[in-house]
Amino acid sequence: MHLLGWHGINYLYSISGFLVGALVGFTGVGGGALMTPLLVLLFGIVPSTAVGTDLIYASITKMSGTLVHGLNGTVEWHVVRRLATGSIPATILTILALRYLGAKQHGVSGLITSVLGFALILTAVTLIFRKWLQAHLARYVDGLPARQTLSITIALGAFLGVLVSITSVGAGAIGVTILVLLYPQLPAARIVGSDIAHAVPLTFVAGIGHLFLGAVDWNLLISLLIGSLPGIAIGSHLAARVPDRVLRPVLASTLAVTGARLIV
């Protein structure tokens, strides 16, 4: 059942976009961790198309968040530049590798699905054990020289570039967790703002790459945006009313089960 509407808009996709957008507003977890597996498992979208479309979708939705954080002065642009120094070259190389392998071939679709599954499980683990991870890793990064902090930040960007290019999962939970360790002097709002700001060029470059690979569905993209933009606004407005201690375990469990399903 497609429920096609005006100019090929699919209202089932719009409804899904609204629900995912609301959850993103509630939890702050990137939409890719929710949207991409939903498109693959529920709607049967080819993994490469789901990833490519979601990347363009993410770059558009995160622009508004970056604008708000930028106006509020909660973006550390030097951290964004360091992350982008690693992520943009890694993204370009990953897209070239996908092009060489053939992004729509069955084997590559299987690779995307498997990596997506592992990425979801990794995100779920990070969500559940974030405080534990930060407490136990802090001893290894506490008091790092500035040069090592710079190198690790660039390496983190490169890791996220590869992960996002293959799966569209922004790994926001992973990125924020490590940034908190690397920059303990920064307030949480600046960490989050910097992570969101970095996601814009990262998802845009990766999305353009997938566009040239022919892996973007414009009707799907517009359908998702119609639902997700109001969903994010409503979810963000109501976030304070929903206990974080309730939402995060539920979301993490959902991601873990979905990731396992994709791998199997």
pLDDT at residue 6 tops 60: no
pLDDT of residue 122: 82
- Name the DSSP class of 105: S
Q: What pLDDT is stored for residue 1 in this prediction?
A: 43
The residue with greater pLDDT, 122 or 8, is 122
Q: Helix 32-41 to helix 244-263 angle, to the nearest 10 degrees?
A: 40
Chain segment 31-53, per-residue pLDDT in tens: 677 888 888 888 889 888 999 99
pLDDT exceeds cutoff 50 at 64: yes
Give mean pLDDT, residues 3-18.
75
Q: Are 108 and 101 in contact (CB under 8 A)?
A: yes
Give residues with Cβ within 8 angstroms of 148, minimum separation 6.
Answer: none
Query: What is the pLDDT at residue 93?
Result: 96
Q: With bands split at pLDDT 50, 70 and 90, how would you rate the model's confidence at 204?
A: very high
pLDDT in tens, 118-145: 888 888 887 777 778 777 777 777 777 8
- The whole-angstrom separation of Cα 171 and Cα 239 is 21
> pLDDT by residue (tens digit) across 167-194?
887 667 778 878 888 888 888 778 888 8
Structure tokens at 44: 């049967």
Q: What is the pLDDT of residue 154?
A: 96
Q: Is the pLDDT of residue 199 over 50?
A: yes
Percentage, residues of the chain above pLDDT 70: 84
Q: 163: how many CB neighbours lie within 10 A of its CB?
A: 26
Q: What is the mean pLDDT of the chain?
A: 81
As given in the structure block, the two tokens for residue 149 are 């902090």
Domain boundaries, the chain: 8-256
103 close to 48: Cβ distance less than 8 angstroms = yes
**pTM of the predicted model as reported, rounded to 2 decimal places:** 0.80
Local structure of residue 7 (DSSP, 8 states): G
Distances (CA, A) of 139 to 108, 153, 186: 39, 17, 18
Count CA atoms within 13 Å of residue 228 on its CB side: 26
Asked if pLDDT for residue 156 goes beyond 80, the answer is yes
3-state secondary structure of 9: coil
Q: What b/e string do you get for 238-257 counting C-beta neighbours within 10 Å, with b at 16 or more?
A: ebeeeeeeebbeebbebbbe
Residue 86: closest CA among 205, 212, 225, 4: 205
pLDDT tens digit sequence for 77-91: 999 999 999 999 999
Calpha distance 224→11 (Å, rounded): 9
Instruction: Please list, residue by residue across 29-43, b when 16 or more beta carbons sit within 10 angstroms of its beta carbon and e when fewer do.
Output: bbbbbbbbbbbbeee
Residue 28, pLDDT > 70, answer no
Contact between 142 and 171 under an 8 Å Cβ cutoff? The reply is no
Residue 212 has pLDDT above 80, yes or no: yes
Query: What is the distance between the alpha carbons of residues 263 and 126, in angstroms, rounded to a whole number?
Result: 18
Helices 188-212 and 172-182, axial angle in degrees (round to 10): 140
Whether the Cβ atoms of residue 53 and residue 124 lie closer than 8 Å to each other? no
Residues 6+ apart with CB under 8 A from 91: 161, 162, 164, 165, 202, 205, 206, 209
The token pair that represents 8 in the structure block: 């090929």
Contacts of 261 (CB under 8 A, 6+ apart): 41, 117
